[in-house]
Amino acid sequence: MDEIRLIIASDSVGETAELVTKACTSQFNQLGKALEIIRLPYIETDENVDEVIAVAKEQQSIVIYTLVKPKIRKYMKEQLDLYNLDHVDIMGPLMTILTEQLNESPLNEPGMVHKLDEDYFKKIEAIEFAVKYDDGRDPRGLPKADIVLLGVSRTSKTPLSQYLAHKRFKVMNVPLVPEVDPPETLFEIDPAKCIALKIDPNKLNAIRKERLVQLGLNDDASYAQDQRILAELEYFETIVSRIGCPVIDVSNKAIEETANEIIKIVTANKSFKL
């Protein structure tokens, strides 16, 4: 059989059109080596379209295209019809239907799928980061973090880290315990990305007692005693004063509320880039 030549023309990299094309061609056993696929990316001007048409005319190719800008898409269709070239517009018909049904103009921005993919992978990377550097287990994460949360035990550092990770922030949390010196790196990084989580001692006492009960332990353990809590909070104030970072009182705040405050603080820092 004669060779079937296909041209993938796209205003982005052309992966979407190629995937659809290969899904279709895989249904035909006869094609095999008789199939040639050429991808022509970044078709953004009339001149680019003319180049596609020239190649298609010379090789008598079928043109499969994904062009989101209406003017370029229209010009492509006109030229393909003019030279009687077989073609498939993958995106145009559906975009027209959606425009009519939604009564909304499309963004007409090439490469949006890849932007969405990039956001997704950034989120996954941030979630993995939060898990890897949870509870201050590796100080090497401090320079890499977008946000560093500081606080005594039971101030919601871990759930906050995970919540912020879903917003694509790389978060490390560091527990402050009187018996354990924090890593020296903590005092060397930009204090603007450190957030200290303050809590009322009575509130903390109640939270810790509840936690001990959940673990099947007596709620009178030193972990929940007033003297121990006050000592931890005093140590917390010492470290925070040394760093000079912003402080948020989480005593009566939901995770979402605290997270929003944190985001406002770190994004207000002009050196911060997400």
Q: What is the pLDDT of residues 243-257, one digit of tens each?
A: 999 999 999 999 999
Q: Are 15 and 117 in contact (CB under 8 A)?
A: no
Q: Which residues are annotated as a binding site?
A: 151-158
Neighbours of 137 (CB within 10 A): 13
Q: Phi and psi (nearest 5°) for 38? A: -115, 130
- Angle, CA of 25, 26 and 31, to the nearest 5°: 65
Instruction: Pick the range with the lowest mean pLDDT from 10-24, 99-113, 119-133.
Output: 99-113
Q: Are 193 and 266 in contact (CB under 8 A)?
A: yes
Architecture in CATH for domain 113-268: 3-Layer(aba) Sandwich (3.40)
Q: Phi and psi (nearest 5°) for 177? A: -130, 130
Look at 243 and 3; give whichever has higher pLDDT.
243
CA distances from 99 to 82, 90, 102, 107 (A): 27, 15, 5, 11
For β-strands 171-175 and 62-66, DSSP reports them as: unpaired
Which is nearest to 252 in space by CA: 197, 210, 196? Answer: 197
CATH superfamily of 4-110: Response regulator (3.40.50.2300)
**What is the rounded distance in angstroms from the CA atom of residue 188 to the CA atom of residue 139?**
12
Domains of the chain by residue range: 4-110, 113-268
This prediction's pTM: 0.61
User: Residue 272's pLDDT band (boundaries 50, 70, 90)?
Assistant: low
Q: Which residues are annotated as a binding site for ADP?
A: 151-158
| 113-268 and 4-110 share a CATH fold | yes
